[in-house]
Structure 1
Amino acid sequence: MADNNHLHLQTLTNSNSNSNSNSNSLTTTTTNHHSRRRRRRDKEDEDSFAAEGDAAEVWGTFTENFRQVQSVLDRNRVLIQQVNENHQSKIHDNMIKNVALIQEINGNISKVVSLYSDLSTNFSTMFHQRNEPLDSKSKDDTSQA
């Protein structure tokens, strides 16, 4: 009978040590999960900070391009006023000057088209770059599920 009690006690001891081992394994797994989550959050914070710096640079570029566009449009307004004045004067020399003024207006319109094209490209690039971390994050989340 003593041997049976000893065997029963040994089984309980082994059962408790396995339970402690499982508990330690669970604690380690939970700790690793939180560490990964914390590292991912830190990385996202770093990415966000870098993106804010990039965004400031992009917005600076946008602002500069819009200033250039506005400057060219202002110049065209002055040129169009001059063309109208020359046309109303019906003086031959003024009409000849209009040819060069209209050519400058056309060139300026091409500049505006080019500047807006650059703005569009820059905006599209910025939009896709800012969404890349979100796209890769959603792919990571999907692959982890």
Structure 2
Amino acid sequence: MANNPTTNANKKLKHHRNQDSEEVEGDPEVWATFDKSFKQVQSVLDRNRVLIQQVNENHQSKIPDNMVKNVALIQELNGNISKVVSLYSDLSSNFSTMFHHKNGDDPKNGGVPREG
């Protein structure tokens, strides 16, 4: 049976992925950073759930004061959505940086491996 270049490439890729996985699994600092970020996101999302419930209750009550309160609640929701976007952006950046450092790539140099 002849060597299949695609199969060999897939084996190498799978081996590389397994090495990366082992390196990340063994780095508690990386996981602690991700855990902290996801907990921050979850906290904001939980707050948004409460805000949405309040907005719905105020809307259903049709009480003018409650409708006015909804303006501030919706503004807070909007700000929280921006926070979630920012947190995910930071998380993505941190992941990318960690990945490039683990592979010896220099993200400032277009992902080209560092010399040395």
Shorter-chain TM range is 0.5 to 0.7
Asked whether 1:93 is paired with 2:59, we answer no
One-letter amino acid of the counterpart of residue 106, structure 1: N
Match of 1:63 among 25, 35, 49: 35
Runs ≥4 residues deviating over 6 A? none
Residue of structure 1 in register with 2:103 after alignment = 131
Q: Distance in 2 between matches of 1:64 and 1:82?
A: 27
Greater Cα radius of gyration, structure 1 or 2: 1
Residues 113-140 of structure 1 deviation map (CA, whole Å, 9 limit, x = unaligned): 110000000000000001117x46xx88
Q: Distance in 2 between matches of 1:108 and 1:55?
A: 31
Q: Distance in 1 between matches of 2:27 and 2:68?
A: 48
Asked whether 1:120 is paired with 2:95, we answer no
TM-score by length of 1: 0.55
One-letter amino acid of the counterpart of residue 93, structure 1: D
One-letter amino acid of the counterpart of residue 87, structure 1: H
TM-score by length of 2: 0.68
Q: Distance in 1 between matches of 2:76 and 2:50?
A: 11
Match of 1:80 among 26, 49, 52: 52
User: How far 1:58 moved relative to its partner?
Assistant: 1.6
Structure 1's unaligned 5+ residue stretches are 1-50, 141-145
One-letter amino acid of the counterpart of residue 66, structure 1: F
Q: How many residues align?
A: 87
Q: Flag the structure with higher helix content.
A: 1
Residue of structure 1 in register with 2:78 after alignment = 106
How many percent identity over aligned positions? 74
User: How far 1:55 moved relative to its partner?
Assistant: 2.7
